[in-house]
Structure 1
Amino acid sequence: MQRPAISQYAQGALYGLAAVCIWAGFIVVSRLGVTTSLSPWDVAGIRFSVAGVLLLPCLARRGLALDRLGWTGVAAIVMGCGAPMVLLVNVGLLFAPAAHGGALFPGVMPLMVAVLAAAVLKEPFTPAKSAGLALIVAGSVAIVWLTGDGLGTAQSIGHALFLAAGLVWACYTVAMRRALLDGLHAAAIAAVGSLVLYLPVYAVVAGAGVLNAPPLDIALQAVVQGVLTAIVALLLYGRMVGLLGATGGAAFVALTPAMTALMGLAVLGEWPVAGDWLAIAAITIGVYAVSGGPLPILPRERLLLTRR
């Protein structure tokens, strides 16, 4: 697969950076919610009650796209960006801090997407892509290693859940790319599917307990989770994947740990240590390489191009 043209890459990169800003906020706001007045089940319920209702007209108009997805593809999309993925992340945030969620969920996920895309979509592993994936994984693991309590602790449960969330998201990405589904259509399938399958169970188990939370807490989750993350970010992500490919688009999500660190610095006053900055730099360089960023032309390559 050829690297994207510079203008195409720039457009895809802008979509990716916008989505990353939203996802970094999603992790911080989710952590805030599950450690204060809401449970992971409440956060997921708020998210899909809002997004499901807003996107219901879109799904009613465009359908499930079974001719392109099949039931397996529909299941991959509902699980990968619907309630199962959100619950994996939110429950993980009960055991591990937001920085770990940012590192392991979106940080390692591009590797999972690359493996699935190579097997299903036949996207090749170029030298630049392989080196970039190595940098992304190394940087993500370094963030956890430098700030974590080590293996065998309660944080390990959170780490496993974050990785599981990354795996189901990878399945969603490949299914969307294979079916040539746009981001809004995929978001509608995931949101309405979760509204139908998850909300009734949540209502029976949790009842109206969520209404005991402060109204501002509920409103914050409704806007960030139900509108920005479940609709706007997925629309941006779908357009980015369409421009950069499954692996290249997914790689941009790995910038979330860096953006989360910057948001933590600005909002919470949490200053990353020197090792964190090195890890963030490694992730950023890796994302550029994997996503298809234009590479400098070496003298020999420039000479060959001149001769042509």
Structure 2
Amino acid sequence: MSTSAASVPAAPPRAFSASDLAILGVVVVWGTNYTVVKEALGVIPPLAFMSVRFAVASVAMAVLLLAVEGWKPLPWRVLFKLGMLGLVGNTAYQLSFILGLANTTAANSGMLVAVTPVLVAALGAALGVERLNRPLVMGMSLAVMGMLLVVAARGPSLGTDTRLGDGLILVACVCWAIYTVGIRSLGNEVSALRITALTMLAGAPGVVLAGAPAVLALDVGSIGFSARAGVVYSALIPLVLSYFIWGRTVQQVGSARASLYNTGVPIVAALTAWGVRGERPTLLQGLGAALIIGGVVLSRGK
């Protein structure tokens, strides 16, 4: 079976399904992970955290794949495509995102990430792997507006000192869009678990090596239990489990619709920060949350 984008995958059903429920779970996990990571980064440097996290995740992913599906040969063209997706969706994305965050504000990064669903939809349509309809486009527009309101309430900075970080965040958005559409273009000829595992294993070496000097410089004895638990949790749940669910959902409902749900991550992040760190959400964030939910509901129309 060809992996070419010449034939458009069948349009996904619009009724709410188990796939939608699964992607909502991923949104909750990724939204709460911001607080988990922020707590761990108070003890562990960003590159060291990223390196150890990916080392743990890649080993767990390889074990899971071998235990569930075993080793099955794939055509070299498919392996090459998975390898490229791993480099883009893991190595380039993770490095761009973590270094971008280190050089810009959280508000700026949130504002910029809001363009990701649009990038996914535009790229998918351009490559012929996604069908766009009016409800989806209108819902996406509404949800992106809501996402911008949620993060704008934190006060974005437009100074020249954030340009490097802003640029890296945009690079990360493009990388994630390519990864998401790339998964969709594979269709169902490769299982979601195998896609997740092979792309993660392909991208892990670059991420691990980039943070190796920071890992070697760590004073392991000064790292408490909560920080260590944060690394393990962030590796196994937001990476291994959620990446698998994300890949499976993209296969079943399409890259544009799956990406639309991603606009809910800032809502969960804001609510988690409120409950754990006492960062009370504003009225503007509440309005943004309403627009995001409305956009998701609107996208299901006929």
Instruction: Report TM bin, short chain.
Output: 0.7 to 0.9
Q: What residue number does 1:301 align with?
A: none
Query: Size of the alignment, in residue pairs?
Result: 288
Q: Are 2:176 and 1:162 equivalent residues in the alignment?
A: no
Q: Please list every run of 5 or more consecutive structure 2 residues that lacks an aligned counterpart in the other structure.
A: 1-9
Residue among 177, 181, 185 paired with 2:184: 177
In structure 2, relative to structure 1, the CA distance for the partners of 1:120 and 1:161 (3 Å cut) is: same
* 1:1-308 correspondence runs (5 A): 2=11, 4-6=13-15, 9-34=16-41, 36-57=42-63, 61-62=70-71, 65-67=74-76, 69=78, 71-80=80-89, 82-98=90-106, 101-102=109-110, 104-105=112-113, 107-180=114-187, 181-204=190-213, 206-209=215-218, 211-290=220-299, 293=300, 295=301
Judge which range, 126-135 or 62-71, deviates more. Answer: 62-71
Q: Check 1:94–1:286 CA distance in 2 against 1; reply closer, same or farther (3 A cut).
A: same
Asked whether the equivalents of residues 79 and 168 of structure 1 are also in contact (C-alpha less than 8 Å), the reply is yes
Q: Distance in 2 between matches of 1:154 and 1:220?
A: 34
Query: Counterpart amino acid of 1:52?
Result: S
1:198-228 deviation digits (Å, cap 9, x = unpaired): 3245335642426254132442332232100
- What TM-score, normalized by structure 1, do the two folds share? 0.81
- 1:175-211 deviation line (CA, Å, top 9, x unaligned): 1111134332232123322333332453356424262
Residues 215-265 of structure 1, C-alpha deviations (whole Å, 9 max, x = no match): 324423322321001111112112221221111111111110111111112
Instruction: Describe the shift of the 1:230–1:47 C-alpha distance in structure 2 as closer, same or farther (beyond 3 A).
Output: same
Moved over 6 A (4+): none
* CA positional deviation for 1:131: 1.1
Structure 1 unaligned segments of length 5 or more: list them.
298-308
In the alignment, is the contact (CA less than 8 A) between 2:139 and 2:298 conserved in 1?
Answer: yes
Counterparts in 2 of 1:84 and 1:40: CA distance versus 1, 3 Å = farther
Please give the root-mean-square deviation of Cα atoms over the aligned residues, in Å. Answer: 2.7
* Contact map agreement 1:19 1:237 (CA 8 A) in 2: yes
CA distance in 2, matches of 1:210, 1:23: 28
SS in structure 2 at match of 1:198:
helix
Q: Distance in 2 between matches of 1:213 and 1:289?
A: 50
Which range is displaced more, 277-286 or 62-71?
62-71
Percent identity between the two aligned chains: 24
Maintained 8 Å contact 2:31/2:266: yes
- Distance in 2 (alpha carbons) for counterparts of 1:12 and 1:79: 25
Worse overlay, 52-61 or 108-117: 52-61
